[in-house]
Amino acid sequence: MRRSPRPAPSGATAAARRRRAVAIALALLLPAIARAQGAGAPPAPPALDPAARAAVERIVDSARAAGLPTEPLELKAVEGAAKGAAGPRVVEVVRALAAALRASRAALGPGATAAELTAGAGAIQAGVDPAAMRRLQSAAGGRPVTVPLVVLADLVARGVPAPGASSVLVRLARSGASDEVLTRLRADVVRDITAGVPAATALSGRLRADGLAPDGAPTAPRAPGTSTPPR
């Protein structure tokens, strides 16, 4: 058992107290929800008006019937309530997410995990073309595409043009680039953008600096100490 000398509470009892407190709080806030898959229904949005809550439940039910993951939708409603959004707005946002999940599943296929589907929905909402997502999945050769999709969505959200970013990630995936490599690349590109490099050229600029061609293929051998290329 690892002891913590910090003044803040820690340890198994604190964790258990926290768990109980949250469970009680949620139970008090939670009306009976008619349907739930398996043990433990997700909490209803605590501050949503009844009409909005009912509308969200309808969206969740039809997503469930379509075989889509429902937890992201429920969590989005909870998030909206936590941020004090008005009922109609929450419903609109949940509906948009359901549509994005549907499009994500159409692109990634029924074998995709919930994490991949949610990451795909995020990418679609950020402006990534579903056809590019399909190419990315195919290039990844069976590896999960959660991280590549998250990285792609992030780059596009920061202003890197979507077609270019997509094709770079597809090439990197095909060459076997690990999640680590993609994560590091993303952090480097974002640092460059923050430092003033235009987003439109930040990705290709970073690839060149790392000794890669604009499409992600290795070019020259790297000097020792610089970042490693994709596998």
Partner 1 sequence: MPAPDLTDAQAVARVLDGDRDAFRVLADRHYARCLRYARRALGNRLDAEDAVQETFLRAYDALGRYEERQRFTAWLFRILVNECRAAAARRGRRDGPLAPDGDAIEQAAAPAAPDAGWRDAVERAVAALEPLLREAFLLRYVEDLGYAEMQAITGAGTSALKMRVKRACDALRARLEEEPSNV
Partner 2 sequence: MSDGTVDPVLERARRALRQEEPADPARVDALMRGVRARPLPRRAPTGWLRRRLDVSITPLAAAALLLVVVGVGGMAGVAAHRLDGAPRGEGAPVAGTVFQRTAQAAPTAANAGAPPSGDAVVLVHFAMVAPDARQVALVGDFNGWSPTVTPLRRAPSSGAWWVEVPLRAGRYTYAFLLDGRLWVPDPAAPLAPEDGFGRRNSVVVVASAS
In angstroms, what is the minimal distance from the CB of 17 to partner 1? Answer: 28
Q: How far apart are CA 74 and CA 9, in angstroms?
A: 31
For residue 11, the partner it binds in partner 2, partner 1, none, with Cβ less than 5 to 8 A by kind, is: partner 2
For residue 119, the partner it binds in partner 2, partner 1, none, with Cβ less than 5 to 8 A by kind, is: partner 2
Binding residue for partner 1, selected from 113, 183, 219, 226, defined by CB under 8 A: 113
Binding residue for partner 1, selected from 10, 11, 24, 37, defined by CB under 8 A: 37
Q: By CB under 8 A, is residue 197 in contact with partner 2? A: no
How far CA 92 is from CA of 58, 70, 87, 148, in Å, comes to 12, 16, 9, 28
Q: By CB under 8 A, is residue 146 in contact with partner 2? A: yes
Q: By CB under 8 A, is residue 112 in contact with partner 1? A: yes
Q: How far apart are CA 57 and CA 40, in angstroms?
A: 16
Q: By CB under 8 A, is residue 7 in contact with partner 1? A: no
Number of H helices, E strands in the chain: 10, 0
Q: How far apart are CA 43 and CA 196, in angstroms?
A: 43
User: From residue 23 to residue 62, what is the string marking binding to partner 2 with x (rule CB under 8 A)?
Assistant: x-xx---------x-xxxxxx-------------------
**Which is nearer to partner 2, 108 or 150 (by Cβ)?**
150
Q: How far apart are CA 205 and CA 182, in angstroms?
A: 15
| Residue 71, helix vs strand vs coil | helix
Both structure tokens of 183:
């994560």
Binding piece for partner 1, criterion CB under 8 A, among 22-30, 54-62, 107-115, 119-127: 107-115
Binding piece for partner 1, criterion CB under 8 A, among 15-23, 42-50, 135-143, 207-215: 135-143
% helix, strand, coil for the chain, step of 5: 60, 0, 35
